[in-house]
Amino acid sequence: MAFFKKKKQNAQHPRVLPEHIGIIMDGNGRWAKKRKLPRSAGHNAGGKVFRTISRYCSDIGIKYLTVYAFSTENWKRPKDEIDALMKLFKDYLEEALRDFKDDSIVVRFIGDKSPFSDELRALMIENEEGSKDRDGMVLNIAMNYGSRDELVRAVKLISQGVKNGEIDINSIDEDLVSSNLYTSGQPDPDLIIRPSGEYRISNFMLWQSAYTEFVIMNKLWPDFTTDDLDEAINIFNSRNRRFGGV
């Protein structure tokens, strides 16, 4: 159940799909704790939901989906939980290569890949290369991603360009900053969904979400369904997006 009241859809105003949806996949650990299961069980359950929701978004015509899978801060978690997550990522990437080869989804990984194992990095690259010529939804999987880190990286890239004489400092504008983010060339998210009932951005797409509609849902990620996604899209459709205007 969402914390925002849903309006009835007017027949004269059919539902508009967000072009880009972001999802903060939150609540796996709490889901497991409620069931007296190890946290790894929650991550496994959340991984299944991720597969279902990703394919559903592709099927209904969403053009871009960005999911928050592992943040720069998640390395602070206990080693056994991190090890379980790395195994889950490995299993998913191998499954994607094996079972999703006929899908139209373009897979991209945003974030700093360098801390991951050679095996995981190779699987990420193989998935990106194997899907890059597809013509369907772009799925951004945020791995070792933090928006502040992303902005620092963009500042460094722009600064290097100025230092090399490739960028005039007076030409630095919002478009230039956007073009140096991991999501370069993609539209900003229209809608960000956060299951679990937490009212936090959690360092997710800070720059890109300047005019994003947020929907907070009081449901843990492993319990999230396609009906919940539809409800979030209906809530999005009830909003009056003015982008600072009247």
Q: Give the C-alpha separation, 44 to 210, whole Å.
A: 32
* Diameter over CA atoms, the chain: 59
Active site residue 164: no
CA 49 to chain centre: 14
Catalytic one of 28, 44, 59, 74: 74
Catalytic residue of the set 26, 188, 190, 228: 26
Q: Which amino acid is at 51?
A: R
Would you say 193 and 23 are in contact if contact means Cβ atoms under 8 Å apart?
yes
80 included as an active-site residue: no
Closest CA to 230 of 51, 53, 10: 53
Give the strand order in the sheet containing 213-217: 106-110, 138-145, 64-71, 20-24, 191-195, 213-217
Q: What is the DSSP string of 112-127?
A: --TTS-HHHHHHHHHH
Of the candidates 128, 150, 152, 137, the one whose C-alpha atom is nearest the C-alpha of residue 209 is 150
Q: Is 123:97 a contact under the CB 8 Å cutoff?
A: yes
Catalytic residue numbers?
26, 74
